[in-house]
Amino acid sequence: MRARHPGRWAIFLVAALAAGPVAACGTEPDATAEPLPAPEKATPTHSEADERAAREAALAAYSGYLAASRDASRRSDPHHPELARFLADPLLTRVRLTIREAKEHGAMRTGTLVSDPTVTAVSLDTVPATVEIQDCLDATRYRLVYAKTKRVVPGSGGGRHLATATATRYPDGRWLINYGVAHEDQPC
């Protein structure tokens, strides 16, 4: 059952513990007195084929995300339908907001973004099942420009930097990218 997952209980436990002192200054902590069952040790029951399929699906979602993000940024369309095909919240909303902010400043992204992603971890025994992705993105020729003049936005631009992302398997079986951060301070 999904309910037996250790990660989830850890969240509740921490939330309950942390809620104590915070709630003390106002409301009664209404933490439910449900006993916490001992977490079951997850046993790796997944075949190599499962893992390989997960890696492939995750990398496909990741490259789909980059392509959708490029296309949406080029068109200044925060609600480009492709975004929701490869992304999930909270990253989906973050990407939309970033494109929207550029659009509100009359800017768009153009050029080429070179990606070379690798899978750093596969976790199929957890709920949710996740695949961690690491990428060395080359954004040297991917620029933020003003749509009208095509001039580069002052202060923008980047080089080769580390990017990390998490692909998560959703209940309908799709792998979507729901976390993803550009570490501009970490060149690669």
Partner 1 sequence: MLTRGGGDAAGARRVRRLAGIGLALLLAAAVAPPAAAAGAATTVRAAAARAGGIECPVGQHDCNVWDDDPGTPGRPGDGGDPGDGGGSDAGGKCQWNGRVVACYDEDLGWFDNGSGCYYKLEEPQPPDTPEGKQWYLVTCNGGDLGSQHEELLDAPPPGYGTPPDPEELARRALASISLLPPRLGVAPRKSKGPGLVGLPVWMWASPGEDYFGPLQASASDRGLTVSITAKVDRIVWDMDNGEKVECTGPGTPYEVNGAHAGQPSPDCGYDDGYPRADTYDVSATTFWTVKWQSSSGESGQITQTRTSGTAQIQIDELQVVTR
- Residues 35-64 interacting with partner 1 (rule: CB under 8 A): none
According to CB under 8 A, which residues from 73 to 132 bind partner 1? 73, 78, 84, 88-102, 104-105, 109, 113, 120-123, 125-130, 132
Report which of 123, 127, 124 is spatially closest to residue 4, judged by C-alpha positions.
127
Calpha distance 73→131 (Å, rounded): 26
CB of 183 to partner 1, least distance (A): 6
- Please give the structure tokens belonging to residue 155: 């202060």
**Residues near partner 1 (CB under 8 A), total:** 89
Give dist(CA 137, CA 184) in Å, integer. Answer: 10
Nearer to partner 1, 12 or 56 (CB): 12
The three state secondary structure string of 55-92 is: HHHHHHHHHHHHHHHHHHHHCCCCCCHHHHHHECCCHH
CB-based contact 64:70 (threshold 8 Å): no
Residue 142 β-bridge partners: 111
Residues 138-157 that bind partner 1 (CB under 8 A): 139, 142, 144, 153, 155-157
Nearest approach in angstroms of CB 99 to partner 1 is 7
Tokens of 24: 């003390």
The secondary structure element, H or E, covering residue 154 is none
Q: CB of 52: closest distance to partner 1 in angstroms?
A: 16
For the bound state, the minimum distance from the C-beta of residue 69 to partner 1, rounded and expressed in Å, comes to 4
Nearer to partner 1, 49 or 155 (CB): 155
Binding residue for partner 1, selected from 58, 64, 166, 167, defined by CB under 8 A: 166
CB of 57 to partner 1, least distance (A): 14
DSSP class of residue 3? G
Which one of the spans 12-20, 43-51, 52-60 is the region binding partner 1 (CB under 8 A)?
A: 12-20
Between 30 and 49, whose beta carbon lies closer to partner 1? Answer: 30
